Structure 1
Amino acid sequence: MDLRRMYYFNATVKYQSFSRAAKSLHISQPSLSNAIKTLELEINAPLIERTTKQFQLTELGQQFYERSKSLLAQFEVMDTELKELAKGEQLEIRLGMIESANHWFSQVIIAYQKQYPQNQITLIDTLYNQTVRQALLGLNVHGVITNQHIVDQEIKSELLYTEPYVVLTKKDHPLATKEKITLVDFAEESLIIGMPEFQTSAQILKAFEQENITPHIQYKIERFEMIKVLVEEGLGIALLPQQYVNHHLSESLISRQVHSDFLSRSVYLSTMKDRTFPESIRKLFELIKSMH
């Protein structure tokens, strides 16, 4: 069976249209139609219903699509792995990265580049659960450092560390000198938080919910760095991961522990379970797991 025709068939199903699929494949629509017809002749059965105006697969076509989709995905992984292994130690290594891991990961890069100076490292923001999964299975990244524990039969999540959230305030704020800070202290404060769809924000809000406290959220900000700026300007206080605020704080800011049984998070290294990596990529993963 011709792999190219299988690929054309999958594209046609994906776009639910011969014309749109042909455009995405950069071939003519008649060429695509002929390839599908040839495939059906090989199987000796129709794959696509041609008696209705709406695009529809036959029962056999649906089964063929599910199986061929899996085969094409395996072929793509194999093709990528072989090309990477052939390149040896001159690779572009692509990693998804949460913002709070930037400082300690920079130390990983320093150690790694001493051993593999020819390899290029590309870091990509990967913030949502589904985005992480798609990036890994789509072979857009080799691994992801994430605060999301992904339970998936195709993805492996290895715990790197667990850390608390700490409160970030100006040094002249009352919480800066309070003997013991709890979430109750946040009820009357202007809280600066990340976007609601981020895992970090969801964990923080869940902690407030578990302690039956309603926070006063004044600002929702996408980047931790901007949150730090607003705190420094006296516009509110923030809860941020300890690893992030441990470094490069201005003289006007201070971080303090918050006493809560619910205010912590775990960070993971996520990779595809069955993907084979060159030695230089495996070495990077080893450094990540040992240097966090």
Structure 2
Amino acid sequence: MDIKQLRYFEAVAKHLSFSRAAEHLHIAQPALSMSIKKLEQQLALTLFHRSDRKISLTDEGNELLRHARVILRNMADAEHAMQQLRGIQRGVVRVGIPSMLGSYHFPPILMAFKHRYPELDLEVIEGGTWQIQQQLERGELDLGVIVAELVPDSLCATVFLQQEVMVTVSREHPLAAQQQVTAKQFFEQELVMFKEGYFHRKVVDRLANQTGATPKISFETNLVPLIKSIVKQGFGISTLLGMAVDDDQDLVALPFAEPVILDLSLAWSRDRHLSVANQTFLDFVLEHSCANK
């Protein structure tokens, strides 16, 4: 047993619902269910009655809940005491995030961070990876999201998320019936692209150089909703991360025939010391991103 398992167990016991508990914890429901199952296996006990989509605590679950609440309360008190000793109750985190991740990956993480550390000020700046890199080097940002392979020697970085770049088309597009898209097929289409300096544009430009293709770019914009709208209306195709397309019934996300995988990193200046507040945010993002993989 560890603290995370007890925290997950207490949330499920409180809400008596895996879905509501997962939403409260800002993690994926399958990850939560797996954690509880592992806890039951480790204890060789059944903690919840499961029937007809309803759950309730077993006698063993009620006994564990009594101990778990004491442990979690003591842990919270200890964390609060240590935060005060470290000065974590004050500080500013300035972080640069590309628009797609800012719209689809980071909102629940940022809200959860502010809930746990309400006294910390969080400044989020949207920008392309090149712009974020320059701001990090100039000391205008404390942390920033950039692609791992683009991290220069002037920055330190740690990978927090791996995502596949997907060809995105409307449901009526001829490519929508395929299982994958070749680079040649992609560059034969009219493209809706991010402007230069954004990691998705860098991926497409690199792919074009590798294949000797000349992209036919009809629209350039950094607004994800506008890109999706243009693609839906059939005026071109684009590349997006799966997270931006998963819940959109009017779009189809297809992998490249040779998959394009991005390792996304949180980076900071090698010449600047990370404050306690910044290190806390970095650790928090790593913890929550891993929990949602």
In 1: Cα distance, 2:273 partner to 2:197 partner? 32
In 2: Cα distance, 1:113 partner to 1:164 partner? 29
- 1:58-207 equivalences under 5 Å are 88-102=88-102, 103-129=104-130, 131-147=131-147, 149-153=150-154, 155-207=155-207
Aligned-residue RMSD, C-alpha: 2.5
Deviation for aligned residue 1:255: 1.4
1:19-72 CA distance string (max 9 Å, x none): xxxxxxxxxxxxxxxxxxxxxxxxxxxxxxxxxxxxxxxxxxxxxxxxxxxxxx
Alignment CA distance shift 1:168-1:134 (3 Å): closer
In 1: Cα distance, 2:184 partner to 2:253 partner? 17
- 1:139-288 equivalences under 5 Å are 139-147=139-147, 149-153=150-154, 155-246=155-246, 248-249=247-248, 251-261=249-259, 263-288=260-285
Deviation for aligned residue 1:231: 0.8
Mapped contact 2:99–2:127 kept (Cα < 8 A): no
Mapped contact 2:163–2:262 kept (Cα < 8 A): yes
Amino acid at match of 2:287: S
In 1: Cα distance, 2:231 partner to 2:279 partner? 40
> Normalized against structure 1, the TM-score is what?
0.61
Mapped contact 1:97–1:144 kept (Cα < 8 A): yes
In 1: Cα distance, 2:153 partner to 2:245 partner? 31
Query: Secondary structure of 2:158's partner?
Result: strand
Query: Secondary structure of 1:152's partner?
Result: coil
Mapped contact 1:88–1:278 kept (Cα < 8 A): no
1:221-270 CA distance string (max 9 Å, x none): 23222211111222111112334333x42x32221222125x33321111
Deviation for aligned residue 1:186: 2.2
Deviation for aligned residue 1:278: 4.1
Alignment CA distance shift 1:133-1:164 (3 Å): closer
Alignment CA distance shift 1:186-1:116 (3 Å): same
1:197-228 CA distance string (max 9 Å, x none): 43321221221332344443222223222211
1:84-111 CA distance string (max 9 Å, x none): x996413332111111212221121232
In 2: Cα distance, 1:188 partner to 1:137 partner? 38
Query: Secondary structure of 1:186's partner?
Result: helix
In 2: Cα distance, 1:144 partner to 1:281 partner? 11
Q: Look up the match of 2:80.
A: none
In 1: Cα distance, 2:152 partner to 2:92 partner? 27
Query: Secondary structure of 1:236's partner?
Result: coil
Q: Where does the alignment leave 5 or more consecutive residues of structure 1 unmatched?
A: 1-84
Amino acid at match of 1:256: L
- 1:25-44 equivalences under 5 Å are none
Mapped contact 2:182–2:258 kept (Cα < 8 A): yes
In 2: Cα distance, 1:90 partner to 1:228 partner? 40
Q: Where does the alignment leave 5 or more consecutive residues of structure 2 unmatched?
A: 1-84
Alignment CA distance shift 1:143-1:216 (3 Å): same
Q: Look up the match of 1:68.
A: none
> Normalized against structure 2, the TM-score is what?
0.61
In 2: Cα distance, 1:104 partner to 1:197 partner? 20
In 1: Cα distance, 2:94 partner to 2:270 partner? 17
Equivalent pairs counted in the alignment come to: 203
